[in-house]
Structure 1
């Protein structure tokens, strides 16, 4: 991660943390500034904040920005929630100048105030306050709009003029306020290590509530002290925090960076109690909803058929749009409102599905999910902030089902509807006290298979090529959604250009066709092509590429090879590439290394070759067995990936009108593909 990425990640994390925090006035002397219909304040640092002293810092030109002091302080006292932040950094390069002279702070004006305290520039040992001259603009970027979410967050964009390499920027602000959806409880969290070092780092929490805390990958200790004010003070202080070497492609749930979290929730049962007030399953549904539900029941062959109709209605007839404003950041809109306006987000859809199924006498509840932490939820402290998604769990015929209302085109049998590998969730159900496993349907699969058939048996004509690509399970659902968005013509063009990379003389003979089997959740695309017959030529040797290109798309080497972190895998996934060739005469095959198996704890690969007198077939099959490779096993795994990628570029050379065949010309073909 470069310096710019680190800065953006840090800002995003801090913006998310601040999302926990009722507007209170700081002082009568506060200066209020309007900008684009929003406002911020300039005022003195709150009295409760401890202002830390800077020390003399050496500048390391190896980093574009030197972070010298990071100070986070959080006050929980009665209804007050105030989060103070101070950052001191020195710009040490031209690249750092691009990022370090622009500051960004995000907040939610519906329930938060932003108060700047000061911005100080130090040049050649001379300090100057530039808060009054700074160009501060409040904008509402709605950065998640492309994902169907409207959050109402506002960003204060601070543009500093006449900033130079070597300047030190010292700025501080407070976010004052809390989203009342969280009630009396409080929780927060802070990153403690990054891919850049930090000279002085401070975290302080002052609270009149009993706080649990947890440290992860963080040096030092937390000091706890009872204050005369009745508050409890939690302090973490550390000097010369080392950088963390970045690695790519690690699992969602693996956090390589230091983190400290605080929460006044003492158990998952307390989180459930908070959530059950937001999901009123027992609320009376409208006559229109009752009528529609009864219509589905009356027109269904059985309860299973009815359940499918409810799910398909919520997934496909209720468009995804989240108005994450105020309390609706976590509180779903009523099923009546969602049913009438025909749009909603994950929690709206989850509650609607549960309410409809309960209305039909089926046990159903919404469940809180973390799309990134997944099984890491077993290690973290309880709070609503651990979750970012909601799904529905219901019981039918004694069996547990999990349904994601935000998926679409799951037009298949109930047992074949996929659910992402969320691993654990928290049921919003009375008397629930712990996390529960999220179990996929028993018949669930995700598979992509490419079948190619070449008939060279007629030496006097062009070759007819039949290519089928089959998507199963979650892959079929993904492709249905993509085709609905992009269209068949676009996909046909993409496929054709993909095939041309291996078969550059391929010519389209017909339009791409689609066959969709909803019963087993299988989607097949078929296409026919023509290709010049190589046996018409005078070449003495004809090379047939039997590449597993479909598999190679999913078998990639990580950027970082020597690893201390686990590697992510797409669990439960299978990719196959099968190639069948018919020849115009018999061959006395002399193949080496026909069959091959490569396997470790996370993956398996098989290459099988069947050679008959006038035909040859090659099958490449890759499958994952886990969601990750442990750090200690990555060396073996990366070696296996290299071997698999070599094995995928298998080929045979057929001497024209001869009765023998050479072994794989793998090296020659890899050179032609630029693989060396």
Structure 2
């Protein structure tokens, strides 16, 4: 979706605004008069500097109800030959329907000389470059690029450009994000924003950005951070995303999340109608005839959208915000998240299942409630429905769901914004821990013929939920011979002493599971214990070798929590059938349950019926733990890593 493009104050090529006069080609000329053009500063110390040194990172924005303009200038010095490959090309991108881009300078400064590379843009190559077509994405953006010829070590490259426009969906509202994103130390960093005095614009900074100064000059209000010898803050390793968002400043004139909800509501209201003669109605009637249960109807509607319309993103013009109509998406049998959401909403409305669209962020939802409201916070839209007091989240861009509405787990987006005519605030998406393993792997070695004989092996891996769904899609898309080879190679990488002879799989649709079986022969490494004089076999642990939490360097948010893989629940079992019914054999290994940070670890080591069995369950209970708990967990994990699981043969 196009929402994320608004957040590109850090990379001017991605800034979104909608101009009064959009253009398919860049304009060449001086910066706007309100821009304060800075002199080129002296380089910072070269000791310990990166190959490309930042002299000036200048970002100036003018935010008005009539349109927004973003000026950017980057002045960088090449200190080492290793930095030259990173500066081979200069380029900007823009939406020709919504933006105007003006290129001001592209030059090399060398020993008091100025070498102009721009030449009124005669060498600039302008293309409509769809770089994500292989990902089923079409955004219609233009790119203007030019090779940087003759750049040498010691040269200074100076480039500046401006994006301007007015977004048709956001209307007279503005949004900007600036941030420290350069390597090493910059001689000067400046963020200079201005807007008409009295405009309802707020700003918010994150840790490490600095405190900008607010002032007025005539009819204009200025917000400026101007810093010398500045270094971008380093995010704390292992922290959740909200604590890694350092060195940024947001500026927004959106009143609230509620306002964004109201702005988007008419777009989906117009898109969720079905024409009387549409053949989609026959599909809806079939679902209605199948059941009166709203949960069954909602799930069948989701499957219809998943299976009979493929995904394809359309971001040309207003397509980045405005959903295609349900009729159009159904007619062409493809749509992006917006189109599929509108189609699903239209079907649910006909089936009398109450539902609403909800904006979310793929990968960026953590800490959304701490940010200023903006469309930039979102890059995806799904459907929210409440049936019998329980909330369900339906995503029409998924494929392969088969087991009913209650089998759908809440998505990991953390926050959602329901789209309603009267507005809505952010809603937290609560993800509970898994109640059953999503992967169960049982490996059985048959050593009943003797410890020196090759042991037949069988591994059964059973996947549930989304893991099973992913395997179904892979099996449907990849040739069988390629899959078998991949499974064999994966096994040989984890267990080099096993020769896989047979690979097969089964889709257990009734239980929403997918099972993979591999059979072969293993060379079990029984070794003599020199102290005890008996043979031992060390069982390879699979889930107990979890790494610890890395220790952090001093810096912002050093005491932030640590993220934990969540939700996961994995069960691993290793069985060894022993010769002679296991008479005289013993096992040694951990047994019991303990909680390590937010990870619940259950282990068992037993011998019964002539079979030695070692089990490990690892389940995450929460998405993060405190820094103090992480340090304690690391110590426990070190202890666990040293614990052996052994089978001992009789003397």
The reply to whether TM is greater than 0.5 is: yes
Write out aligned runs for 1:14-413 (5 A): 14-15=11-12, 18-24=15-21, 38-61=24-47, 62-132=49-119, 135-208=123-196, 209-228=199-218, 230-245=219-234, 249-280=238-269, 283-287=272-276, 288=278, 289-300=280-291, 302-413=293-404
Secondary structure in structure 1 of the residue aligned to 2:299: helix
Deviation at 1:164, TM superposition (A): 0.9
Question: What is the rounded CA distance, in whole Å, between the counterparts of 1:130 and 1:507 in structure 2?
Answer: 61
Deviation at 1:39, TM superposition (A): 2.0
Contact 1:562 1:635 in 2 (8 A): no
Secondary structure in structure 2 of the residue aligned to 1:180: coil
Secondary structure in structure 2 of the residue aligned to 1:182: coil
Deviation at 1:640, TM superposition (A): 4.0
> 1:652 corresponds to which residue?
646
Deviation at 1:290, TM superposition (A): 2.8
- Give deviations 1:558-612, integer Å, cap 9, x for gaps: 7776583654322121112101111112343555543265533322323310123
Deviation at 1:361, TM superposition (A): 1.4
TM-aligned CA distance change 1:638 to 1:488, over 3 Å: farther
TM-aligned CA distance change 1:526 to 1:301, over 3 Å: farther
Question: What is the rounded CA distance, in whole Å, between the counterparts of 2:587 and 2:518 in structure 1?
Answer: 31
TM-aligned CA distance change 1:384 to 1:312, over 3 Å: same
Residues 1:622 and 2:618 are matched in the alignment: yes
Contact 2:441 2:462 in 1 (8 A): yes
Deviation at 1:426, TM superposition (A): 0.3
Question: What is the rounded CA distance, in whole Å, between the counterparts of 2:570 and 2:9 in structure 1?
Answer: 35
Aligned equivalent of 2:492, options 476, 490, 500: 500
Contact 1:457 1:584 in 2 (8 A): yes
- Give deviations 1:95-126, integer Å, cap 9, x for gaps: 11221343232211222122111123211233
Contact 1:367 1:391 in 2 (8 A): yes
Question: What is the rounded CA distance, in whole Å, between the counterparts of 2:496 and 2:353 in structure 1?
Answer: 56
Deviation at 1:212, TM superposition (A): 0.9
Secondary structure in structure 2 of the residue aligned to 1:120: strand
TM-aligned CA distance change 1:49 to 1:634, over 3 Å: same
Deviates more, 1:169-178 or 1:101-110: 101-110
Deviates more, 1:109-118 or 1:11-20: 11-20
> 1:668 corresponds to which residue?
none
Contact 2:586 2:607 in 1 (8 A): no
TM-aligned CA distance change 1:265 to 1:444, over 3 Å: farther
- Give deviations 1:170-199, integer Å, cap 9, x for gaps: 111111223322222111111135442222
Contact 1:415 1:441 in 2 (8 A): no
- RMSD of the alignment, in Å? 3.1
Secondary structure in structure 1 of the residue aligned to 2:304: helix
> 1:512 corresponds to which residue?
504
Instruction: List gaps (5 residues or longer) in structure 2.
Output: 1-6, 527-532
TM-aligned CA distance change 1:550 to 1:221, over 3 Å: closer
Question: What is the rounded CA distance, in whole Å, between the counterparts of 1:101 and 1:632 in structure 2?
Answer: 46
- Equivalent pairs, count: 629
> 2:564 corresponds to which residue?
569
- Give deviations 1:442-490, integer Å, cap 9, x for gaps: 9876621111122222449864322110112222222222222224443
> 1:666 corresponds to which residue?
none
- Give deviations 1:257-281, integer Å, cap 9, x for gaps: 3100011101111111111122116
Deviation at 1:151, TM superposition (A): 1.3
TM-aligned CA distance change 1:178 to 1:445, over 3 Å: farther
Deviation at 1:624, TM superposition (A): 1.5
Deviation at 1:533, TM superposition (A): 8.2
Instruction: List gaps (5 residues or longer) in structure 1.
Output: 1-9, 26-31, 33-37, 661-676
> 2:3 corresponds to which residue?
none
Question: What is the rounded CA distance, in whole Å, between the counterparts of 2:434 and 2:629 in structure 1?
Answer: 30
Question: What is the rounded CA distance, in whole Å, between the counterparts of 2:302 and 2:513 in structure 1?
Answer: 19
Question: What is the rounded CA distance, in whole Å, between the counterparts of 1:240 and 1:502 in structure 2?
Answer: 49
> 2:530 corresponds to which residue?
none
If the length of structure 2 is used for normalisation, what is the TM-score? 0.88
TM-aligned CA distance change 1:502 to 1:437, over 3 Å: closer
Secondary structure in structure 1 of the residue aligned to 2:268: coil
Contact 2:206 2:248 in 1 (8 A): yes
TM-aligned CA distance change 1:163 to 1:442, over 3 Å: closer
Deviates more, 1:462-471 or 1:169-178: 462-471
> 1:673 corresponds to which residue?
none
Deviates more, 1:583-592 or 1:193-202: 583-592
If the length of structure 1 is used for normalisation, what is the TM-score? 0.85
Deviates more, 1:280-289 or 1:99-108: 280-289
> 1:29 corresponds to which residue?
none
Question: What is the rounded CA distance, in whole Å, between the counterparts of 1:245 and 1:419 in structure 2?
Answer: 32
Deviates more, 1:302-311 or 1:39-48: 302-311
Instruction: Between the two structures, name the one with larger relative contact order (CA 8 Å, sep ≥ 6).
Output: 2
Secondary structure in structure 1 of the residue aligned to 2:169: helix
- Give deviations 1:421-450, integer Å, cap 9, x for gaps: 112110001323311122458987662111
Question: What is the rounded CA distance, in whole Å, between the counterparts of 1:642 and 1:479 in structure 2?
Answer: 33
